[in-house]
Amino acid sequence: MVEHTGETKNERLTRNVSELLQELRVAQAGVQILFGFLLTVVFTDEFHEASGFEKAVHLTAVLLTVCSTVLLTAPAAWHRLLFRTGNRERILTYGNRSVLIGLGCLAAAITTTVALIAKVVFGPIAMAILGVVSAALFVGLWFVVPRLIDGNGG
């Protein structure tokens, strides 16, 4: 169904870019909290006693968080650098892709962090179970449900 808002193409693009940037503010808060948590862990005595596997999983979570930060902030940087060039449509197209990949990295970073915490606290079986449950929640609620709402997934 085509929605008629009475906007010109330029007004619609301006609104869409604005909405994208607003959505990024929400996602970025979660990334910042996670990143801060992951950075502080390194400076604890317990971290220095962690196994090589645990340190590798932690570093993976940090790198996924960095990727998420870069991908989720890129559209704001592009908008700031290009807003007067008449490229709103391209900013929106590439920005949407960047945000979707960034959200995927954020979901992977949080899932990895939950799995690591489960491993340290309860062991490898808990790590596997909670890692799979976390990943399933993200995939289901962030990517499957929107397709169902849209009517293209079911």
Q: Each residue of 71-117: pLDDT tens digit?
A: 999 988 888 888 788 788 888 889 889 999 999 999 999 999 999 99
**CB within 8 A of 41, min separation 6: which ones?**
47, 58
Most distant CA atoms of the chain, gap in Å: 62
**Token reading at 88:** 């709103």
Q: Which runs of consecutive H residues, i.e. helices, occur in the chain? A: 9-41, 45-48, 52-82, 88-122, 124-138, 145-150
**Which pTM was predicted?**
0.84
**CB within 8 A of 31, min separation 6: which ones?**
65, 68, 69, 72, 106, 109
Query: Over the stretch 63-74, which tens digit does the pLDDT of each residue have?
Result: 999 999 999 999
